[in-house]
Chain A
Amino acid sequence: MKKISALAGVVIKELYRRKDFYVLFVLTALLTFAAGAVNFFQDEKIIRYVKDVCLLLIWISSLVIAIVTTARQIPAEREARTIFPLLAKPVARGQVIAGKFLGCWLAAGIALVVFYFFFAVIASSREHTWPVAMYFQAAWMQWCLLAIVIALVLLGSIYFAAPSSTSTISFIIVAGIMLVGGHLNTIALSQPEPMQSVLAGVYYFIPHLEWYYLSDFVVYNMGCVPWIKVFGATLYAAAWTGIFLTLAWLGFRRKNLTT
């Protein structure tokens, strides 16, 4: 565990020493404050719009940070050849994968904490309530989703040499699942065979990232999701993360790094 945490520490250090992270962070903070300050359309229910916009910004920013950071980890190590002095130490390739995952996930978690703090301050200053449990659930579920996404991107980065291709493909997959994934079983019912079986199969085969978007609960103050469901979703995320990390390890384990 000491080796994995050391590797994760380097990932986090790299992230906060790179300027692009700060640009994204400052941009999100500015947009969030701007959204909080402006009275859209003089609507009395302005707070809903503000919350919706803020949550969307948090989602996009955290996904960008998670995907872009993760996509460059292994390819950048190979390109800069820093992987060689590292692997010349008594560190297994599985530990490298685990360390990279942990670093990216923790970094995304730190960003989420900051983003949700801004969000809570803005939303609560308007509503004069502090639904901490609900915000915690929203942030936790998003962090669980980011675990799946980071593991998926890490898997992609083993096979695609360029970080840009890994990032693009990952964004398409995540957006596809978020927008269409949850409706596939409904779409399948209206399709003839064999398309119906294919779509139904895909529905059960993909990780359902859309389950982790609790925006409506927060925007409409619907209260907390039952904790048992949050626990179930956490286990589901852990299972998918485990699958992707195992596949990444299998791909990386015997990879010839010199070609």
Chain B
Amino acid sequence: MSVILQTEKLRVEYRSRDFRQTTKVALVGLDLEVRAGEVFGFLGPNGAGKTTTMNVLLGFVPPTSGTARLFGIDVRQPIARQRIGYLPELTYYYKFLTAEELLRFYAKIFGLDCPEMDKRIANLLKLVELETAAKRPIKSYSKGMQQRVGLAQALINNPDLLVLDEPTSGLDPLGRMKVREIIQRLKNEGKTVFFSSHELGEVETVCDQVAIIHQGELKAVGSVSQISAGHRNLEQAFLNIVGFLPSPLLP
């Protein structure tokens, strides 16, 4: 299987805005490889560097050193993002547009022609069950509906790689189940999914490969069974790897 997402010795430093101008290291020499067709779970506690990694992969943050490639193309080239779909953690969309208008806008950005655009928009609205609300402004949607619009826009270009930043965060159990179903369906279609999550049960269910990052460093990478080996489950392995020692008072 070909490598479609790759980082080599990726390092990101932020300069703080205080008068001392101290430097905060967000990523330390991160080496990652995601192969075609994998569902790759990217785990880590808050502030570990997951979002920074995604920000570099999507071209929002330039790396201080090292390289990041999508489909073999440097992520700083916009063309590297032609075959990816991105779902942010929260719903960052133009709220004055309707779902249909938003999808049409992104379809134009991907350069889709009109008949193809209409077909995909109709299919995606059906997939995320927003057909009846398609002509309402996004600002009138509930959080779950907005997240489903997000999923639809991430799929508008029929991407080969999906980058999902905590896709089930803040959703109710039904919403989570729907997102999991869609990830599973994409997996069955042979798509590659790279996603960050705090829901370890969910990761255990859908992921082929898992990476655990802590304080900007890659601590472990492998299949769920490899990571969980010697532990009760993935959660216990995760806590052990990130150095969390459970209190003896806890059951």
Task: Mark A residues whose CB is within 8 Å of B.
Answer: 2-3, 5-7, 9-10, 13-14, 17-18, 80-92, 95, 254, 256-259
Which residues of B in the span 173-214 have a Cβ within 8 Å of any Cβ on A? none
Q: List the 4 closest A-B pairs by CB distance, nearest first.
A: A88-B86, A6-B108, A81-B92, A90-B82
CB atoms of A84 and B78 under 8 A apart = no
- A81 contacts across to B, CB distance below 8 A: 88, 90, 92
Q: Name which residue of chain B comes closest to A89, CB basis.
A: B109
In whole angstroms, how far apart are the Cα atoms of A90 and B80 in the complex? 7
CB pair B78 A91 closer than 8 Å:
yes
* Contacting pair B96 A14 (CB below 8 A): yes
Dominant SS at the A interface? helix
Interface positions of B (Cβ within 8 A of A): 14, 17, 52, 55, 58-62, 78-82, 84, 86, 88, 90, 92-97, 101, 105-106, 108-111, 150, 153, 157, 163
Does the CB pair B153–A85 fall under 8 Å?
A: yes
A84–B88 Cα distance when bound, in Å, is 8
Please give the distance in Å from A16's CB to the nearest CB on chain B.
10
- By the criterion CB–CB under 8 Å, are B94 and A10 in contact? yes
Contact across chains for A258 and B59 when beta carbons are under 8 A apart: no
What is the distance, in angstroms, from B94's C-beta to the closest C-beta of chain A?
A: 6
Q: Measured between C-beta atoms, what is the minimum distance from A234 to chain B in Å?
A: 29
B90 touches A92 (CB 8 A): no
CB distance from A116 to the nearest CB of B (A): 28
A87 touches B111 (CB 8 A): no
**Known contacts A2-B111, A9-B105, A17-B96; A87 and B59 CB within 8 A of each other:** yes
**11 residue pairs A–B, Cβ–Cβ below 8 Å:** A3-B109, A9-B105, A13-B96, A14-B94, A84-B58, A85-B92, A88-B60, A89-B106, A90-B79, A258-B52, A259-B17
User: Quick one: given A6-B109, A10-B105, A90-B78, are A257 and B92 in contact (CB under 8 Å)?
Assistant: no
Instruction: Give Cα A249–Cα B86 distance, bound, in whole angstroms.
Output: 24
Task: Give the interface centre of A84, A92, A95 by most chain B CB atoms within 10 Å.
Answer: A84
The minimal Cβ–Cβ distance linking B54 to chain A, given in whole angstroms, is 9
B80 contacts across to A, CB distance below 8 A: 90
Say yes or no: A84-B81 contact (C-beta < 8 A), given A6-B105, A89-B106, A91-B109: no
- What is the CB-to-nearest-CB distance from B4 to chain A, in angstroms, rounded to a whole number? 16
Bound-state Cα–Cα, A86 to B59, Å: 11
Q: Give A90 to B83 CA distance when docked, in angstroms.
A: 9
CB pair B61–A258 under 8 Å, yes or no, is yes
Most chain B CB within a 10 A radius of its CB, from A3, A87, A89? A89
Say whether B81 contacts A90, CB under 8 Å: yes
Please judge, given known A-B contacts A87-B59, A256-B61, whether A2 and B79 are in contact too, CB under 8 Å. no
- Whole-angstrom distance from the CB of B20 to the nearest CB of chain A? 16
Q: Are B108 and A3 in contact (CB under 8 A)?
A: yes
Give Cα distance in the complex from A24 to B84, angstroms. Answer: 42
In the bound complex, do residue A257 and residue B88 qualify as a contact, i.e. CB atoms below 8 Å apart? no
Q: Which of B17, B60, B157 counts the most chain A CB atoms within 10 A?
A: B60
Of B14, B60, B95, B109, which is within 8 A of A257 by CB?
A: B60
B110 and A89 contact, CB distance less than 8 A: yes
- Residues of A within 8 Å of B61, CB to CB, are 256-258
What B residues does A5 contact at CB under 8 A?
108
Q: How far is the CB of A186 from chain B (nearest CB, A)?
A: 45
Q: Which of A5, A81, A87, A88 has the most CB of B within 10 A?
A: A88
Q: When the two chains form their complex, are residues B82 and A80 in contact, meaning their CB atoms are under 8 A apart?
A: no
Contacts of A82 in B (CB 8 A): 92-94
- Which chain B residues border A89 with CB–CB below 8 Å? 81, 106, 109-110, 157
Q: Which of A7, A10, A13, A259 contacts B14 (CB 8 A)?
A: A259
Bound form: Cα–Cα A84–B93 in Å: 9
| Contact between chains at A2 and B81 (CB < 8 Å) | no
> How far is A10 from B105 in the complex, measured between Cα atoms in Å?
8
